[in-house]
């Protein structure tokens, strides 16, 4: 495995994360596995790159006003205990199972993002923003999957913010980056303690991901909301199908 390829992978994943506030470590795990990183290390080694990338994204979205601080706080409140529990459970599942689960989750979420919303869905979603318990509970489930799959959780948080709470795509991306940055900390700590991080891979990936996320954030400001949502869904579904097929034949 070449560190140059890992750096390029980080650059590409950073573009996605910066543009959509999601897909950082979720895409990184399959890509690193295909580059030859052992499965359990491919699952957790992208996590260190999420912290600086999230900080960069949050700063840009704060300046742009596309960040819902209340929703982010509630998502963090529910997500932290979920990430800790999920990380503990991940040790019992094993790297191969986690890779397949990552692909299935990408396919499921992408399909839902592409489906049209029902009549009145936007009004119902906006009303849910006042239901503190609902947001905290949903974030706990996201946190559980985040810890289990050792990713930042953005590929689940963005659809949750858009579909469940009615945030715009830009607001969902900015809010997700803040929540992802905080949720990554306990997830990273747990997987470090479990010995799941290859630091050579993590550093090379970070060197590519940080500038990639900067470029992606600039791109995001030029994408209309409906276009960004469709692009995000298509990207998730296409990548998930390719990865699952590739995994099945190797």
Could you read off the pLDDT of 11-43 as tens digits, one per residue?
Answer: 988 888 777 776 666 678 778 888 888 877 887
Among 46, 65, 32, smallest CA distance to 210 is for 46
pLDDT at position 137: 94
pLDDT at position 136: 95
Task: Count the domains in the chain.
Answer: 1
Q: Could you tell me if 58 and 174 are in contact, meaning their C-beta atoms sit under 8 angstroms apart?
A: yes
Q: Could you tell me if 190 and 87 are in contact, meaning their C-beta atoms sit under 8 angstroms apart?
A: yes
Give the residue numbers spanning the domain of 81. Answer: 3-249
* Distance in angstroms (rounded) separating the CA atoms of residues 239 and 195: 28
Per-residue confidence band for 1, with pLDDT thresholds at 50, 70 and 90:
low
* Distance in angstroms (rounded) separating the CA atoms of residues 210 and 62: 18
> For a pLDDT cut of 70, what percent of the chain falls above it?
88
- If one compares 151 and 202, the residue with the highest pLDDT of the two is 202
Per residue in 69-87, pLDDT (tens digit) is 999 999 999 998 988 888 7
Q: What is the CA radius of gyration of the chain?
A: 16
Per residue in 152-193, pLDDT (tens digit) is 677 778 888 888 898 887 788 888 888 888 888 887 887 788
pLDDT mean over 179-208: 86
Residue position matching structure tokens 């997500």: 79
Instruction: Check the CA dihedral 226-216-234-111 and report its sign.
Output: negative
- As a whole number, the mean pLDDT across the chain is 81
Q: How many helices (H) and strands (E) does the chain have?
A: 12, 0
Per-residue confidence band for 240, with pLDDT thresholds at 50, 70 and 90:
confident
pLDDT at position 232: 76
pLDDT at position 73: 93
Per-residue confidence band for 93, with pLDDT thresholds at 50, 70 and 90:
low
pLDDT at position 139: 92
| The two three-digit tokens of residue 54, written as one number | 């999230």
pLDDT at position 98: 65
Q: Is the whole-model pTM more than 0.75? A: no
In the chain, DSSP assigns E strands to: none
Q: Give 12's contacts (C-beta < 8 A, 6+ positions apart).
A: 31, 208, 212
Region label for 118, one of left (φ > 0), alpha (ψ between -120 and 50) or beta (otherwise): beta
């Amino acid at each position: 495995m070449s560190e140059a390829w890992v750096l390029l992978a980080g650059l590409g994943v950073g573009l996605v994360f910066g543009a959509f506030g999601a897909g950082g470590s979720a895409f990184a795990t399959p890509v690193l596995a295909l580059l030859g990183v052992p499965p359990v290390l491919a699952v957790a080694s992208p996590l260190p790159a999420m912290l600086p990338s999230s900080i960069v994204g949050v700063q840009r979205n704060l300046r742009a006003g596309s960040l819902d601080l209340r929703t982010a706080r509630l998502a963090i409140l529910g997500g932290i205990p979920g990430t800790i529990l999920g990380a503990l459970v991940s040790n019992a599942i094993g790297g191969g199972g986690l890779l397949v689960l990552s692909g299935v989750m990408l396919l499921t979420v992408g399909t839902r993002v592409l489906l049209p919303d029902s009549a009145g869905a936007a009004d119902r979603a906006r009303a849910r923003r006042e239901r503190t318990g609902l947001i905290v509970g949903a974030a706990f489930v996201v946190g559980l999957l985040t810890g289990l799959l050792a990713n930042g959780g953005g590929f689940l948080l963005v659809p949750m913010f858009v579909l469940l709470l009615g945030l715009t795509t830009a607001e969902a991306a900015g809010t997700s980056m803040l929540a992802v940055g905080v949720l990554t900390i306990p997830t990273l700590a747990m997987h470090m303690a479990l010995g799941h991080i290859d630091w050579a891979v993590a550093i090379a990936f970070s060197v590519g991901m940080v500038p990639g996320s900067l470029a992606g954030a600039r791109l995001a400001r030029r994408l209309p909301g409906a276009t960004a949502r469709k692009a995000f869904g298509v990207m998730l579904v296409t990548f998930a199908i390719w990865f699952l097929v590739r995994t099945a034949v190797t």
